[in-house]
Amino acid sequence: MPGCGAAEGADITSTGTDATDGRPGGGAAAGPPPPAAAQVDLGGLAALRAVLRIRPFRRLWLVLGVASLGDWLGLLATAAFASAQVSGSVQQGLAFSSVIAVRLLPALLLGPAAGVLADRWDRRYTMVICDLLRFVLFASIPLGALVIDRGTTVVAWAAVATFFIESVTLVWLPAKEAAVPNLIPRSRLEISNQLTLITTYGVTPVLAAASLSVLDRSLRAAVRTPPEWAEPANLALYFNSVSRLALAVVVFFGIREISGRTAVGPDGGAGGMVRQFVDGWKYIGQTRMVRGLVLGILGAFACGGVVIGVAKFFAVSLGAGDAAFYMLFGALFVGLAAGIGAGPALVRALSRRRWFGMSIVLAGASVFILAVSVHLALALAGAVLVGTGAGMAFLSGTTLLGGEVGDDVRGRVFAFVQTATRVVLILAIGLSGAFVGIGGSHEFRLGEAAFSVSATRALLFVAGLLSIFAGISAFRQMDDKPGVPVLRDLWWSIRGRPLSAAHPVAGPGLFVVFEGGEGTGKSTQLAKLATTLIDAGHRVAVTREPGATPVGRRIRELLLERAEDAVTARAEALLYAADRAQHVATVVRPALERGEVVVSDRFVDSSLAYQGAGRTLPDGDVAWLSDWATGGLRPDLVILLDLDPALGLRRAADRGTPDRLERESLAFHGRVRQAFLDLAATEPARYLVLDAGLPIEILADRIRERVTELVEASGVRLAPAGGLR
């Protein structure tokens, strides 16, 4: 059977903070991080309770939730505040957009250096100082309006203050992101990211918009003309300011665990800040996982920017207005929340590296649905799927950054990603909007038929294509299970048993297996093939299952030769898997690595036929168990000798006392035969099916011809003849 299999070992030894009392456990673990499948699956609510029992993280999450609400209020209120300081629709529009644009400018100017500072300084003090500065700056915006005449001066100060706030945030954000993985065990990093992202991008934005709306209505109802200091925008800015002060106090006095030893001391070490900056960029460029992660994130954000940039025009192309535009935006965020909240429960133990690339491909493919939508309902479904893919990619990417990037460069990597995504997002939004505005819609005629092609849909199609390309490229660079079928891995991961990465064969050997029912003459043909290969100058290793190793011989005795020992069907399958694991590890794989031709009497297909079809155990379970035992090893050729079970059993009886399997019913052996034939039909190129009733020499000639073709076609250099092993 194709594929490879097994769940990676579940190592629940935690590094980081103790789950019960929150004691630090030494920060990020040295050495490679545990695989994604090693994460402790406690179930949704149990996992949530477990991560919230970590006192430092719980405190940080609560205060960050309040601060996030303040930030969303501040984003909305700052722009509204600037608009309120001038009169005229044009001036108000410029004031609104200028304040929003200023929030993006620091990322272009200071983003790369911010990561160096986050890695260079103590993260706790960095966060505290940055929040104190933001407390002052946010408060200065509404306070400035009380002492400065309304007009462009106030707008200018709001823009300047916003620039400094964003500059400080660029240093605060990577320090916070880099510190969080040191507060919690790696196994609970994903659930903590879920909690944080849902709070930041799901709950608080909606709460902020609703709060401003309710506050404005309540004030207008209570006081027709409220004093300037009590304007909703001003109150929101005051709240944002106080939330930053509260965050600074809690971090300084209540979360001392954030402080940690940084890789480079305050003196900057050799080369100082410039050297750190260069080292950070080299790390991103030279590390395949990080490079693939950055490529995927940028591709996803570019695609998202295009969708946002053309959304207004797309709503018009559907024959709908602003209501459809808002519905599409809402659907996008619904999908985002669904991807973040439900994604891990859906894919369960799937490798997070694979999940990341697959999520981006899902988002890109979903953009195609938008591109071909002719009805709002289909467009809304596409928007939900786009958001779902983006949400899953956002969560898995953040988890990978926190869990697999070293603590000494984590701040710089986070800063680079945050800066690059902002730039790409804004460029995508701006350029796509301009392109759609210039391109418009064109009508083409083909005979009597007329059809129109809009720049909006063409751009959506291109964006989806580029996103799929970015997702596939990221997948290839980050894939930690090369050679493992993707969809099969996803299916088994959903069932809680992910396939393990296949162990590649280092040497140039070939693996040939003889399969078939009882009495088909496998041993005879195997011996003839081995002699032929030796005569041709190749070194050959002849082996069998079960019983090729000392451990296997004891298992064979239990399975076949001791009739008085009752073995259940499941126990039988497990014993065969144990024999196969030892066989592959100590006989088959070493011989292949030496460049030998390994010829085996039975392999995985026998378990699928005898335990799967014969014992009627679930085929999928037997396949997964066998693939796990072999580490994904597959024969280059399977020679299936097919024979009527009745004739085969008579042949076997002539050899002597029948073993346990030979004494099974004819119906049992009929199921076994059909299972072998079904397996061969699934991959005819890898099987040679022969009628075992043919004369021995004719069978030997056909087997020799096929194996000779295989050796010549493979182009490998087999080990020189050295006899039979």
Using only C-alpha atoms, what is the Rg of the chain? Answer: 33
Q: What is the 3-state secondary structure (H, E, C) of 238-276?
A: HHHHHHHHHHHHHHHHHCHHHCCCCCCCCCCCCCHHHHH
454 vs 456: CA distance, rounded Å:
5
Structure tokens at 702: 């056909």
As annotated, the binding site for ATP includes 516-523
CA neighbours closer than 13 Å in the CB half-sphere of residue 8: 22
For tokens 């900057």, the residue is: 268
CA dihedral 563→569→573→574, nearest 10 degrees, is: -90
Instruction: Give pairs for 557-560: CB < 8 Å, separation 24+.
Output: 559/660, 560/659, 560/660, 560/661
Q: Are 496 and 400 in contact (CB under 8 A)?
A: no
Length of the chain measured in residues: 725
Structure tokens at 652: 């076997």
Structure tokens at 555: 């298992």
What is the pairing mode between strands 24-25 and 16-17? antiparallel
Widest Cα–Cα separation across the chain: 110
Helix ranges restricted to H, 348-374: 352-372
Alpha carbon distances (Å) from 419 to 170, 240, 352, 416, 613: 8, 23, 23, 5, 57
Q: Are 161 and 98 in contact (CB under 8 A)?
A: no
What is the pairing mode between strands 510-516 and 449-454? unpaired
- Selection from 65, 128, 402, 130 nearest residue 255 by Cα: 128
As annotated, the binding site includes 516-523
Q: b vs e for 83-94, b when ≥16 Cβ sit within 10 Å of the residue's Cβ? A: bbbbeeeeebee
Alpha carbon distances (Å) from 507 to 548, 599, 717: 21, 16, 9
For tokens 């995508």, the residue is: 428
Structure tokens at 45: 């609510």
Phi, psi of 541 (to 5 degrees): -115, 115
Beta bridge partners of 442: 453
